Amino acid sequence: MSQIRRVFMSYEPSYWRGMVCTLGSLTRTAQVPVEVEVLMRRDHVAAFDRLLNGMFRQARDAMTVKTLPMSDAALRECETLQFTDHFKPEICFRLYYFDMSNLTGNALYVDIDTIIHTSIDDIGLSLPTDKPLSARPHDQVGTSIRAIDPDITSYFNSGVMIFNHDTFGKEIAERMRESRTIMRRIHQSSGFLDQDALNLAFRDRWTALPTRFNYMSNDHAPLDRQQGHILHATGSRKPWMLGSRHRFSAEYAQEMRALRYPLLQRYEAGWILQRTTRKIANLLGK
C-alpha cells in the first residue's frame, strides 16, 4: 500500500502556540522525513518564518516546511463569507490545498490544535483503499447539516483527514472544489461551515478513521496511550490558555518543554480578560 508522503495544515496567528506544538510533536514521532505545507495569508509568511526559526533546531531537522500563500482571489472568496462574529477566513484555506500544492502522493491533513503521538507509517495503515478520504466519524449527525440536507446519514470530524491521492487524485480535487461551492451556498445557515461543506462534498466517499487518530477533548472512551494516537483539542478552550485546565494541558506542556520553548512564551493569558469582558457585556446587555 502507498504511504503518506506529505502533511498539510492552515496557519492562523492566534493559534501560533498550537502550530508550534503540532509541528514539534510531528517531527518527534514521524520516524521518517516529513514534507509539510502550510497554507496562510501572504502577509503572514514573514512572521511564520520567524516562528519556525524560533523552534529548537533538532525538531526541524526531521521535516521540510513550505509556505503556501493564498492567492488574492482565493482570499477574497473566503473573506466574503458571512458565518459568525468570530469567523476567521483561515478555516477555509485547506479547501484550496490540492489546487495549490505541487507535491504528489497521499496526504495527511491535521488541525493546528492537534498533538501527534504516532508515526507517519502508523497513520498510513489507515489510508483508505476504495474511497478517497478517511476521517473520524461523529456519533450523531448535527442538526444544522440535517437542515441543509435531511437525507445525510453519516458525518465526520475534519480535524484529521487522510487522502488517497495516488488512486483518487482527480476525484479529490473535484470534490474539494465542490466543497468551496457548497460553502458559499450554506454559509448563512451552517453550524460548522467548512466541515459541513466537506461532509456534503465527500458524502458516501469516505471511510472511518480509528478514534485513536483523532481523539477529541470530549471523548469519554478510554485511550490506550501505548498505541500511537493523535490528540485533538476541540472546543474554544485550548491547552495553551493559561489556567484553562484543559484535558490535554500536560501533553501540551510536555511538547513545549521538548522544544525548549521559554516558559513565559508557552501560554496565552489574554483569554481570561477577554472572557471576563464578554461576560460583563452579556450581563449589561440583559
Q: Is 134 helix (H, G, I), strand (E, B) or coil?
A: strand
Residue-wise pLDDT tens digits, 19-35: 999 999 998 888 888 89
Residue 230, beta-bridge partner list:
116
Residue-wise pLDDT tens digits, 270-284: 866 666 555 565 566
Judge contact between 144 and 189, C-beta under 8 A: yes
Q: Say yes or no to pLDDT of 85 above 80.
A: no
Which domains occur in the chain, in start order? 4-285 (3.90.550.10)
The H-assigned helical ranges of the chain are 16-29, 45-53, 57-60, 72-79, 97-100, 120-124, 143-148, 165-186, 193-201, 249-258, 270-285
Judge contact between 198 and 109, C-beta under 8 A: no
* Identity of residue 154: S
CA pair distance 66, 282, nearest whole angstrom: 43
- pLDDT given for residue 271 in this prediction: 64
Q: Say yes or no to pLDDT of 142 above 90.
A: no
Q: Say yes or no to pLDDT of 1 above 50.
A: no
Instruction: Name 84's Cβ contacts closer than 8 Å, sequence gap at least 6.
Output: none
